[in-house]
Structure 1
Amino acid sequence: MFHPEEQKWSEVATQAEKDEILKQVEKGRVPSPLDELKFQNAQIRVQLAEAQNLIDSQAEMIADLLLMLAEGGEA
């Protein structure tokens, strides 16, 4: 948990809770926190690539429209 007033992090999980999570990770029942972060990072990268493709497409459309306007509005 982050405490903005003090600019410090503190642990809120008990040692028993941490041990139980580690047991489940070792048994393969849940992904490790690092694996979860890697998965989330991959999802964000896909979303970023999709957004960039949309931006590129819109930029091309705008350029075509401006060219059309410059040529007198004829398609």
Structure 2
Amino acid sequence: MDTTPTRECCALTDCPWCGRADLVCRFCAGTGRWSPERPVTDGDGMIVWERVTEECRMCAGTGKEHRHTPLG
């Protein structure tokens, strides 16, 4: 599995979180990728969970922490 963040910064211009290098994203551990689970229906109609790997939605693939609280 690739452990390199997928992008340098998020879509926000002048994002204060992207300018920091001291905090890694707590959801992907700084890799820019995470493995959440999603519901799928099996052949019998039962809902089961399968793990998928995708770009981290919490840091936009930057690997940097993006909290929804003011910096301080």
State the TM-score, normalizing by the size of structure 2: 0.28
Q: Which is strand-richer, 1 or 2?
A: 2
Q: Which is helix-richer, 1 or 2?
A: 1
When Rg is computed on C-alpha atoms for both structures, the one with the higher figure is: 1
